[in-house]
Amino acid sequence: MPGPNDFFQFAAGVRGFIELISIFLIIPLLFGLAWTITGVLRKSKELSMLFSYVTWTIPLMILLSVFVFGKYARTFARETVIKSLNGQIEIIEMAKESTGFYPKELPNGNSSGIIGIGDVNYEAKNDSFKLKFTQNLFIGFNFEIISYVKYNEKSVFDKMKQNGNQQELTETFDPNWKYWIFD
């Protein structure tokens, strides 16, 4: 969700709580399915059949919204931050051309501009710079690390693959940005 990322910890806590609670919805879902199947096999036409449908459809909708639609929300958040940072990358490159070195800090601050994503990590060196931000995936147990690498520095990702410390690198819509899941 776009907004100040000062609420990052609070938003991550709320999201983690909802994900944790949604796991326990599997119990009423299974109970409701069993109740519905039993009623259908008995060809019951009682009012309780309506309640049996509700008992499993509502938890199913909540589980789908948390785990399936959460993927799309994470993709939206990741792409929004990347698009925002691409504008800052242009400013960083112009500063390098005019002054001969990369700025010490991000020109527009290190806020991601997304409530669910923390600050952007920017590290400037003499001849290059790194941009990186993280995004929680599931109750704080694992998260995505999204990183920027210029075209001529692709060997950084190749070295990471050789070390085998993380899962496969995943492409984004921008060839200079990749992410991997760390748990």
Secondary structure of the chain in HEC code, one letter for each residue:
CECCHHHHHHHHHHHHHHHHHHHCCHHHHHHHHHHHHHHHHCCCCCCHHHHHHHHHHHHHHHHHHHHCHHHHHHHHHHHHHHHHHHHHHHHHHHHHHHHCCCCCCCCCCCCCCECCECCCEEEECCCCEEEEEEEEEECCCEEEEEEECCHHHCHHHHHHHHHCCCCCCEECCCCCEEEEEEC
- Residue 86 CB neighbour total at 10 angstroms: 14
Give 13-68 pLDDT, tens digit per residue: 666 777 777 778 788 888 888 888 887 787 777 766 777 777 888 888 887 877 77
Q: Where residue 1 falls among pLDDT bands split at 50, 70, 90?
A: very low
Q: What is the pLDDT of residues 61-100, one digit of tens each?
A: 887 877 777 788 888 888 888 988 898 899 889 988 998 8
- Overall average pLDDT of the 115-139 stretch: 80
Average pLDDT taken over every residue of the chain: 76
Q: Which of the four pLDDT bands, split at 50, 70 and 90, describes residue 5?
A: low
Give the helix/strand (H/E) hosting 129.
strand 129-138
Question: CA angle, 106 as apex, 105 and 109 as ends, to 5°?
Answer: 105
Tokens 């790194």 label which residue?
Answer: 130
Mean pLDDT of 129-151: 78
Amino acid, res. 131: L
Does position 153 have pLDDT exceeding 60, yes or no?
Answer: no
Q: What is the C-alpha separation between 124 and 104, in angstroms, rounded?
A: 6
**Confidence (pLDDT) at 115:** 66
Give the model's pLDDT for residue 140: 62
Report if pTM > 0.75: no
List Cα–Cα distances, 173 to 41, 82, 136, 157, in angstroms.
Answer: 49, 9, 20, 17
